[in-house]
């Protein structure tokens, strides 16, 4: 059943409405477990839209297998999605930097507080992101090292290729995932694909993983396809590749490619002169899990990330 979670008046004859679709078994048990599927916090990240559609479809195809509550929130930031805006239109701060929100804050912080209240008490949350318009990401779960012990076992169930356990940073304490984890709702952040696009294969892969996670939790009793075992990493095993010159980036290595240290993984070229400005080399041996898709780069633009240590394992 589609429910309105938040509704706020906009200046002229419209409301900002955030909705969810609650799927639950027809016969209610005593204590049903609940999972929240959240996406659309950043308006330019659309991979989660397909995941929501497909998960809805799979569950509604076999409602007899549903043994718990699935709340699907396709658009935390509907105005952003509708206007192809990563952030919240007419608001300076990134929506994923104002959690847990406050009733005393500006409208968006009030909204965020109400979204938190709606998710409070859930047994699990999956927060689906799609990088941004510049970078493509291998399907992965990102986990703050403070919560790794609790979350890595869940992350292994969700059918991603990679689990990145990263160092904690104060600024990330205002994300949805951090805030939910702090109130006892285990929350996995999924990053996959690229902004403004939908990669159906990644979406299907994640849906299988969500169903598997639901099955492990006792929310889903239906069959689940094979689930891959992800590589679990820490910060020390990641090689970052940033541009040192402005120009046009022509990537050579693709996502999932294995590269050796020193391999040329792309070039930065100058369309005006025909010169190659930089031969971009892999800083470590490993597997490419991030690749720049948007060609124009400045010094500092992130080009690739490489997961090291794979070849040695």
Contacts with another protein, residue ranges (CB under 8 A): 8-13, 16, 86-87, 91-93, 97-98, 104-107, 110-111, 132, 134, 170-174, 240, 242, 245-248, 270, 296-302
Shortest CB 178 distance to another protein, Å: 9
For residue 68, give the DSSP letter.
S
Q: In the chain, where does DSSP find H-type helix? A: 47-61, 78-82, 107-119, 148-155, 176-182, 200-217
Q: In 124-196, where does DSSP find H-type helix? A: 148-155, 176-182
Neighbours of 194 (CB within 10 A): 25
Which of 154-164 are b and which e, b meaning 16 or more Cβ less than 10 Å from the residue's Cβ? bbbbbbbbbbb
**Strand extents, DSSP E, 271-313:** 276-281, 286-292, 296-297, 302-308
Shortest CB 46 distance to another protein, Å: 17
Q: Dihedral through CA 133, CA 37, CA 210, CA 207, nearest 10?
A: -50
Q: Which is nearer to another protein, 33 or 281 (CB)?
A: 281
Shortest CB 303 distance to another protein, Å: 10
Q: Which is nearer to another protein, 107 or 284 (CB)?
A: 107
- Alpha-carbon distance of 90 to 99, in angstroms, equals 18
Q: Which is nearer to another protein, 134 or 289 (CB)?
A: 134
Q: Which is nearer to another protein, 13 or 312 (CB)?
A: 13
Shortest CB 9 distance to another protein, Å: 3
Q: Which is nearer to another protein, 205 or 301 (CB)?
A: 301
Shortest CB 164 distance to another protein, Å: 17
- Alpha-carbon distance of 143 to 123, in angstroms, equals 17
Q: Which is nearer to another protein, 111 or 253 (CB)?
A: 111
Assign residue 224 a region: left if phi > 0, alpha if psi is -120 to 50, beta otherwise?
beta
Shortest CB 253 distance to another protein, Å: 20
């Amino acid at each position: 059943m589609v429910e309105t979670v938040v509704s706020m008046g906009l200046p002229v004859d419209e409301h900002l409405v955030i909705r969810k679709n609650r799927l639950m078994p027809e016969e209610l048990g005593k204590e049903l477990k609940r999972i929240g599927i959240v996406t659309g916090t950043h308006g330019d990240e659309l991979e989660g839209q397909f995941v929501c559609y497909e998960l809805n479809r799979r569950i509604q195809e076999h409602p007899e297998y549903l043994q718990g509550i699935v709340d699907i929130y396709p658009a935390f930031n509907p105005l952003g999605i509708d206007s192809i805006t990563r952030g919240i239109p007419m608001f300076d701060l990134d929506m994923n930097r104002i959690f847990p929100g406050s009733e005393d804050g500006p409208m968006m912080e009030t909204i965020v507080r109400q979204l938190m209240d709606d998710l409070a008490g859930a047994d699990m949350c999956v927060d689906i992101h799609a990088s941004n318009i510049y970078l493509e990401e291998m399907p992965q779960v990102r986990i703050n090292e403070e919560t790794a012990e609790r979350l890595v076992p869940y992350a292994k169930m969700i059918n991603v290729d990679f689990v990145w356990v990263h160092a904690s940073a104060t600024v990330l304490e205002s994300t949805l995932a951090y805030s939910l984890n702090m109130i006892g709702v285990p929350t996995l952040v999924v990053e996959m694909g690229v902004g403004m696009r939908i990669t159906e294969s990644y979406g299907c892969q994640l849906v299988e993983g969500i169903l598997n996670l639901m099955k492990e939790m006792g929310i889903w009793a239906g069959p689940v396809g094979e689930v891959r075992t992800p590589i679990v990493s820490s910060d020390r095993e990641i090689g970052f590749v940033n541009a040192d010159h402005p120009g046009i980036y022509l990537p050579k290595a693709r996502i999932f490619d294995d590269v050796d240290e020193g391999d040329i993984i792309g070039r930065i070229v100058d369309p005006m002169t025909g010169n190659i400005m930089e031969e971009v080399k892999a800083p470590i041996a490993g597997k490419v899990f991030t690749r720049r898709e948007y060609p124009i780069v400045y010094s500092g633009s992130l080009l690739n990330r490489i997961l090291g240590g794979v070849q040695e394992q």
